[in-house]
Copies of this chain bind each other. A is one copy, B any other.
């Protein structure tokens, strides 16, 4: 896992993934007490950064292997990223999804041409289901985060952040990243280590699912007590990965933790001030920048909005409770 793999992924993604802009608003700066720069990966194809990793992994396969198809397990965003990447490569995709994933993510994954298989998040082991199916049908398993080509794809976000930060005149800043298993976090950290070492990545998680923050503190892989029951469905993976954790441990600053209400409030802020749609899990980094500013230093902070695949009812809840407050 190194910067060369990320740059090779960037080459493969050229003309396929979007270069998302870097947004800001004087109103958000006022709340945070510093300049807030937002990388809205909700504007990426399929509505999250996961298309980068999906495309990177599918495009890196040997053509004969790829032709037999791919399989992925995912709460929804990795599912859509892999499904679209497979479709655009003209190969079949099987996606294992939890039965409590947002209906929109399940529907979208099917509409993108994938075969969707649902499982019970509390009672079944998705890794085992995926491995068995992969062997049975000759599919290549594309893991959601603990897979070098997936991390390389997500890391292309970091290459863009390095360029855009330089253009914006940002010399030093924390880069807050919405963190589940750590694919995006470790990918961005590796890219910034090489391209903008004055930018430091910090993972952000929802309360009750702060396995990465705790792992960074203890130095070993910690596991969440719960595996469901959060609005931040995109980022409630049980623990950091075997590949992602050592990278995060080496490169990241301390993790940050926000409440679900803060994530909803940040969704309303992104609606009002940036005109982008964030899902709860995709809004935790913005929430950390806006509502935990005392844990951050410096004149600038950069945050990812990692995805925007949220059911209308949840978005309405965010606007009804927190609209007009920023």
Contact = CB atoms under 8 A, between A and B. Distances in A.
Interface of A: 18-21, 23, 26-27, 40, 42-43, 47, 84, 104, 108, 111-112, 268, 271-272, 274-277, 308, 311-313, 315-316, 319-320, 323-324
Contacts of A112: 26
Given A21-B21, A23-B43, A43-B23, A312 B104 contact: no
A43 B324 contact: no
A323 B319 contact: no
A151 B304 CA distance: 34
A84 B273 CA distance: 14
A170 to B, nearest CB: 14
Contacts of A277: 271, 275-277
Question: Interface on chain A toward B: helix, strand, loop, or mixed SS?
Answer: helix
A104 B84 CA distance: 38
Nearest to A278: B275
A221 to B, nearest CB: 33
Contacts of A84: 26
B272 A104 contact: yes
Contact of A320 (B47, B272, B316): B316
A45 to B, nearest CB: 8
Given A43-B21, A276-B276, A277-B275, A104 B324 contact: yes
B268 A312 contact: yes
Contacts of A315: 271, 319, 323
Contact of A275 (B21, B47, B319): B47
21 contacts: A18-B21, A18-B23, A20-B21, A21-B21, A23-B43, A26-B111, A26-B112, A27-B108, A27-B111, A40-B275, A43-B275, A104-B272, A268-B312, A271-B277, A275-B277, A276-B277, A277-B277, A312-B320, A315-B319, A316-B316, A316-B319
